[in-house]
Amino acid sequence: MIPHDPSKAQVDPRSLVFAGRDRELYQVITATGYVPDDQNFSDFCESLKSGRPWLISGTRGSGKTAFPEALASACNLTLCVVAGRDGLTQEEILYDWDREEQEIWMRENLAIAKGLPVNEQSAFLESARIKKWQREFLILGEVGLAYDLAAKAADSESPPPVLLLDESDKFGASIEDSLLMPLERGLIHIPRYEGGFIGITDRSMRPIVVTTSNDLRNKLSSPFVSRHVFSSFATPSLEKELEILAARNPEATSSQLALAIKLLDAVRGIAGLEDHPSIRESIDMSSAFTRDSVGDLDTQTLRRYLCHFVKSVSAQELLRLQDDYLVSSATAYHPIVDQWLAARDTEWAGQWGLSSTPETCI
């Protein structure tokens, strides 16, 4: 769990969305450097309003994990995280009992009982056995904690935490099944526990649950999927990608942004390449160009940076044959990229003979 900062104000994303202030929430998130896709953001707002968890599927490096992280940091919300992996147990994510403490408790009470009159002993021990299942001995996992914090936040009228169920395709059937009840009812039933359950049924106060999946390891069960509002994260449009690169690398010059995006756009267009570079790689490229003050590209420079976005032997061989094509694509005029940059940079507009009014050539 990453707790919120109690010395700073919190923003409740649900309240903003219910008040029709979606754009304000969008801006709060973009201030962290994360630029959500418009359709995805609209889906997220739907999930907030419905109180349903949000399931994001999509390619690696498309910003699935970064979205809930940006949300929690932008709104100063506590973030609980379950990272999918083989062998994850229900006890780890929901709750477990502190058996050692329970044993100590019973031993202490047995000792006390021995000092009591015989006719009082059994009632005393009976009560001690019931108290063995009290809150004190309950260890909450990240999911249990998120639902418990949401219930407490509702009592104190503060915003709920964010629960990130990351890479859920690695959870496996039994973990998915154990999440069905909390995701649907907002409750985790705990046998023998004095309170019976933890969590909160009111959907408008439940944790903000974001579930991600790469759809690689296991197919998610349909009851698990059906509890969510669904979005698919794809590689964004070039304009959106430029916005993201500029937000992630505020120091980058227009020529560094142009080189990075034109290069990766050309790589994505190469037939026969199995694994296309994602936003992760384009951010890495533009920050490498910015860090090393690269302003132009030749084949030698290109080869130095290939390692950032070519990650298999076959792709390496394929792209090395296309050196010249990639260099010329990265330095040639690109209508979408150059007009986007020209609208923000008059020098760039002048260099390419473009108007700094978007979409218009001189």
Ligand X SMILES: Nc1ncnc2c1ncn2[C@@H]1O[C@H](COP(=O)(O)OP(=O)(O)OP(=O)(O)O)[C@@H](O)[C@H]1O
> Within 211-240, which residues bind ligand X (CB under 6 A)?
214
Q: Which is nearer to ligand X, 64 or 206 (CB)?
A: 64
Choose the binding region for Mg ion from 62-70, 77-85, 223-231, 304-312 (rule: CB under 5 A).
Answer: 62-70
Q: Considering the rule CB under 6 A, would residue 85 count as an interface residue with ligand X?
A: no
b/e per residue, 224-250, with b = 16+ CB within 10 A? bbebbbebbbebbebebbbebbbebbe
Size, binding site for ligand X by CB under 6 A = 19
Nearest approach, Cβ of 169 to ligand X (angstroms)? 10
Pairing of strands 229-233, 162-166: unpaired
Choose the binding region for ligand X from 113-121, 190-198, 242-250, 290-298 (rule: CB under 6 A).
Answer: 242-250
Q: What strands, in cross-sheet order, belong to the sheet with 229-233?
A: 79-83, 162-166, 208-213, 54-58, 229-233
Return the residue of 279, 294, 349, 354 that touches ligand X, per CB under 6 A. Answer: 279
Q: Which is nearer to ligand X, 58 or 144 (CB)?
A: 58
Q: Considering the rule CB under 6 A, would residue 61 count as an interface residue with ligand X?
A: yes
Q: Which is nearer to ligand X, 35 or 143 (CB)?
A: 35
* Cβ atoms of 229 and 52 closer than 8 Å: yes
| HSE toward the beta carbon, residue 304, CA cutoff 13 A | 9
Q: Residue 161: name its binding partner from ligand X, Mg ion, none (Cβ under 5 to 8 Å by kind).
A: none
Q: Considering the rule CB under 5 A, would residue 158 count as an interface residue with Mg ion?
A: no
As given in the structure block, the two tokens for residue 184 are 């649907």
Residue 149 backbone phi and psi in degrees, to 5? -65, -35
Q: Considering the rule CB under 5 A, would residue 331 count as an interface residue with Mg ion?
A: no
Choose the binding region for ligand X from 7-15, 64-72, 96-104, 300-308 (rule: CB under 6 A).
Answer: 64-72
Cross-strand bridge partners of residue 187: 199
Q: Which is nearer to ligand X, 88 or 200 (CB)?
A: 88
Tell me the residue number closest to ligand X, measured at CB: 63
Q: Considering the rule CB under 5 A, would residue 214 count as an interface residue with Mg ion?
A: no
Return the residue of 47, 62, 253, 287 that touches ligand X, per CB under 6 A. Answer: 62
> Within 93-122, which residues bind ligand X (CB under 6 A)?
none
* Cβ atoms of 11 and 159 closer than 8 Å: yes
Q: What angle do CA 297, 303, 307 make, to 5 degrees?
A: 120
Q: Considering the rule CB under 6 A, would residue 188 count as an interface residue with ligand X?
A: no
Q: Considering the rule CB under 5 A, would residue 65 count as an interface residue with Mg ion?
A: yes
| Cα distance between residue 73 and residue 186, in whole Å | 24
Q: Considering the rule CB under 6 A, would residue 242 count as an interface residue with ligand X?
A: no
Q: Which is nearer to ligand X, 279 or 330 (CB)?
A: 279
Nearest approach, Cβ of 56 to ligand X (angstroms)? 8
Rounded CA Rg of the chain: 27
Residue 165 backbone phi and psi in degrees, to 5? -100, 90
| Cα distance between residue 252 and residue 289, in whole Å | 8
Return the residue of 34, 54, 137, 224 that touches ligand X, per CB under 6 A. Answer: 34
| Cα distance between residue 47 and residue 162, in whole Å | 13
Q: Considering the rule CB under 6 A, would residue 248 count as an interface residue with ligand X?
A: yes
Q: Residue 144: name its binding partner from Mg ion, ligand X, none (Cβ under 5 to 8 Å by kind).
A: none
| Cα distance between residue 149 and residue 17, in whole Å | 21
| Cα distance between residue 270 and residue 319, in whole Å | 8
3-state SS, residue 350: helix
- DSSP category for residue 180: H
Q: Which is nearer to ligand X, 33 or 172 (CB)?
A: 33
Q: Considering the rule CB under 6 A, would residue 245 count as an interface residue with ligand X?
A: no
Helix (H) or strand (E) holding 165: strand 162-166
Name the site residues for ligand X (rule: CB under 6 A).
33-36, 58, 60-66, 214, 244, 247-248, 279-280, 283
Name the site residues for Mg ion (rule: CB under 5 A).
65
